[in-house]
Structure 1
């Protein structure tokens, strides 16, 4: 039998058109998510909240980087230490990127040598990105350690129809910024291949706040490669691979002041090979993944960093009546080296998930996973999710889950900041939501969420320490869209987040209020545009001091010169707002960028 597998072929099917609100459309039965379960499933039938950003939405947005694109989604906030390439932290429902594994074409790209095993979004642009899924809540039952806040699954661009497609894009703009992208993708009856090359060079702005007397510009230069392929070796066997590579050089201002010699040199590499075998009763997928991140910071207290991860996984899928079963096992090894310090640990895992269609309108899924950690022992995590399509216009969904995060190798073994007595963090999360379609195509969505973490690990007193007790992040996400006129939509979202550690201190840089309001319109049959306003309020920085609220407005426009060629413009920070997402670090002044892209 043939089951849907989370492969290149399924990911291609998953990129069907869907609402420009950059969320899952509970009423579009064609939209597939590959993140919310062990097998691809229609977003209309999931019990968990998953936001989906499609290729067209990515290209037409007023953002150039992946983190800025995601920052407009409900429940997601961003803080950065400067411009492009500088350290950037993305949060889901108040929980930072140390709780959010990031996968690119199925490869876990979080860095074991970073301070808290996280992914730095600072150098990841949208060039070559085909689709992004954001899964929220504790998901260790599916993804193991770190997946307390959610998971981000990024798919690179590939062919969507038979034949060969070439694409290119060129861009120039403020801060002497120049970018170029070239891609080729081909698809046949037996296989597919896709390649993207992109490069960007910018002088940038000062990473340290310019108004504090730091006028030096901090530039960035980065080259990114994506390569994916799949081939039907036989009628029942598909072989595939994925490769991603980033080489970058970033000017940085350490400790929030100008430093003319502070540069970081970084390379990231991810590789994956897999085989899918369709059996009579069970479909099998075996995969081998490898990722490594190397960073050199010549003027730092520590100068050389290297993190490596090797993973091997097996997954089987079978159907038993109305129940689809997925089961499997995995092994991973993580290594880190910081100058002369090094460490390693292994995790062996077994997992299973049952998806049950209780009726035409009700779906239930249950996932269970056991991880055996070489340092911290065994952990068993679970997730129960349900979806009830009450009417054709109303859907209810709910989920509860548990998670854990083992202390990173850096947190444990660093000779100055490390703490070998740290214990694992453990979490529990719950969410309940409703989606409803109104007249004239309008739709609204509301989700209440709650996550608690025991033994939160924070940097305090000159090192990493445990906060005894239970820390919480709770709140509500609201989102909606309404047509103002033919071809013109108003959309928006509001997120309230109350995030505190066990001592009642607000988690740093988490906005209590995050409001997005936007309008997009087809101004003519060739010209379209988008305006997005983002207001952030109620943040605390280190020591509990309040950070200033801010409102940023971004504008974008596209013009179709022909069926294959499009010009575009982005105007960032339209009102020239002076603001900070991280205390002491600068953000862009008003900036404009022009570009052209073509696909043929």
Structure 2
């Protein structure tokens, strides 16, 4: 297993923009991150940048899609192939989804059957999601293969105090969209259990942009089940499990003959996605032990591409030990994983055995260092060792400096190795990353944060004419992230972020769909004691998109800049019940995040949610 996420309570702030600068506010609140280290640690003491989005932020987001919620964070950009359910790609600091593993309740849910192993955000809604952590930079020393751009860790809802809580949500709106969810969570001194079921259906809009003459609506239907539980069997032994399942049906547009251009087609993708994990946490004096077994399975019937039937499996067994040696916290362990895929009649398997260790050292009350080292032995291309060094210096009560360097690798995907367009001679991609950041809190409680980042990747694997091949040379992604928040008055905050990204391939050409400029500006306010609202403006500029896939490298062409304005409002009917409204694309901006694919026109959604 690439990484076993320890159990910890995650405290974060109340809104998405606040979550985007959670490290700043965590200086006072003691926010805990379970992603940035092998053991839970306060975000105020980490040397790497981690963004935390909490439950209230997720509920008050201006979209039902998790990908849209994350898109407003610094350093993250989104491109998609249409509406809900269709392929959606999140990039971290210019690096696409194949460099960003995604975990749900500690289960690696990236798709081993995909052409390049990645997580499909298309069908994932916010129903049942409790918190999200985004860790940036090369993190293979903690998470193994794929973790070159960063890691996204999603935790589902569960009880935070003893007792039983019921939750429900119902929403309706544009495009004949209906969404509902029901959840129950219970907790006692010895155990806990949480369950959520949700369903969403929509007629949608044309995946192929309607402004290009495409009029057929592409709808989506999906059902999600989430189940987690834990039991304190003895004072020393805790047993637990997690399960998630999504069954989805998505209308797709394709590239039919003879023109082979994107247009309306009556195709549907049917997919199921399952993740399961069982674990045992054992306290045995000097060393705490965690044993875990995780399994994930994805099946897709995809009628649009040259390959139509995809299936993938991943089984991961892991052990981790945690101990203390003076001022040093030590974590160490080993893991074994097996991944399988089938693409039509083509199949393939590989295995990875890993050992890892991390030391966290409190040099003083104001300085923390951490060092992680990992060795992965891959059954196809052999062994690879990665490391990460991070430092945190709290210069004063209001100023913190952070710095981190790390190495990473991405093993060729099963499809790249064994698929109809793959090659078994491909070798791993290798990365190096560095970041330096500063955050400062002013006397009026205003907060600013700045991070400079740099990542380079050797031996990039890309598609060239007849198949996947190794690209000689070094690709780079570098830039700066800025974010801040200031109170305009009682109950009213102004927030914003700006990310500049310069991402280029080995040939010097701009990497596709990566915005050079990504600007977010918003305001949130308590309008009355019951009514609150949020307005968010997102401006994206300086993108390129591939225009000719028959040449290598493909020729990038400029994509139009766009500005989208979204809003949300919440009204408290009582202490347990809220009504809300979401307005997407207020100005009815006509824009594309991927060349040729449509986005939502102005849309409005109304909902009610309650917990008791």
Q: For this structure pair, what is the TM-score category when the shorter chain's length is used for normalisation?
A: over 0.9
Report how far residue 466 of structure 1 moved: 1.7
User: After the TM superposition, which segments of 4 or more aligned residues of structure 1 sit over 4 Å from their partners?
Assistant: 5-8, 16-20
Report if the CA contact (8 A) 1:244-1:270 is conserved. yes
Q: Equivalent residue for 1:216?
A: 216
Q: 1:14 aligns with which of 6, 10, 22?
A: 10
Q: Equivalent residue for 2:550?
A: none
Q: Equivalent residue for 2:549?
A: none
Q: 1:530 aligns with which of 534, 537, 562?
A: 534
User: Deviation digits for residues 117-172 of structure 1, max 9, x if unmatched?
Assistant: 00010110111100000000000000000000000000000111110000000000
Report if the CA contact (8 A) 1:99-1:146 is conserved. yes
Q: Equivalent residue for 2:408?
A: 403
Counterpart Cα distance in 2 of 1:18 and 1:170: 22
Q: Secondary structure of 2:122's partner?
A: helix
Q: Secondary structure of 2:604's partner?
A: strand
Report if the CA contact (8 A) 1:29-1:42 is conserved. no
User: Deviation digits for residues 53-100 of structure 1, max 9, x if unmatched?
Assistant: 000111112121111000000000000000000000000000000000
Q: Equivalent residue for 2:443?
A: 439
Report how far residue 300 of structure 1 moved: 4.0
Report if the CA contact (8 A) 1:261-1:299 is conserved. no
Report how far residue 299 of structure 1 moved: 5.4
Alignment of 1:173-572 (within 5 A): 173-255=173-255, 257-298=262-303, 300-415=305-420, 417-542=421-546, 543-572=555-584
Report the count of equivalent residues: 592
Residues 66 and 484 of structure 1, relative CA distance in 2, 3 Å threshold: same
Report how far residue 28 of structure 1 moved: 2.9
1:148 maps to 2:151: no
Counterpart Cα distance in 2 of 1:340 and 1:221: 28
User: Deviation digits for residues 191-240 of structure 1, max 9, x if unmatched?
Assistant: 11000000000000000010111100000000001100010000000000
Counterpart Cα distance in 1 of 2:13 and 2:593: 33
Counterpart Cα distance in 1 of 2:5 and 2:19: 21
Report if the CA contact (8 A) 1:216-1:258 is conserved. no
When the two chains are superposed, the root-mean-square deviation of aligned CA atoms in Å is 1.1
Counterpart Cα distance in 2 of 1:331 and 1:576: 50
Report how far residue 29 of structure 1 moved: 4.1
Q: Secondary structure of 1:588's partner?
A: coil
Report how far residue 14 of structure 1 moved: 1.3
Report how far residue 499 of structure 1 moved: 0.3
Residues 394 and 224 of structure 1, relative CA distance in 2, 3 Å threshold: same
Report how far residue 7 of structure 1 moved: 4.2
Q: Secondary structure of 2:415's partner?
A: helix
Report if the CA contact (8 A) 2:544-2:559 is conserved. yes
Counterpart Cα distance in 2 of 1:17 and 1:82: 31
Q: Secondary structure of 1:412's partner?
A: helix
Report how far residue 16 of structure 1 moved: 5.0
Please say which of residues 590-599 and 54-63 is displaced more in the overlay: 54-63
User: Deviation digits for residues 270-325 of structure 1, max 9, x if unmatched?
Assistant: 00000000111000000000001000124542221101000000000000000000
User: Deviation digits for residues 444-497 of structure 1, max 9, x if unmatched?
Assistant: 000000000001112232422221011100000000000001000000000000
1:77 maps to 2:77: yes
Gaps of 5+ in 1: none
**Structure 1 length as normaliser, TM-score?**
0.97
Q: 2:23 aligns with which of 22, 25, 29?
A: 25
Report how far residue 21 of structure 1 moved: 1.8
Report how far residue 419 of structure 1 moved: 2.5
Counterpart Cα distance in 2 of 1:63 and 1:250: 18
Counterpart Cα distance in 2 of 1:36 and 1:480: 22
Residues 214 and 545 of structure 1, relative CA distance in 2, 3 Å threshold: same
Counterpart Cα distance in 2 of 1:465 and 1:490: 47
Q: Secondary structure of 1:203's partner?
A: strand
Report if the CA contact (8 A) 1:92-1:149 is conserved. yes
Counterpart Cα distance in 1 of 2:313 and 2:465: 29
Gaps of 5+ in 2: 256-260, 547-554
Report if the CA contact (8 A) 1:29-1:44 is conserved. no
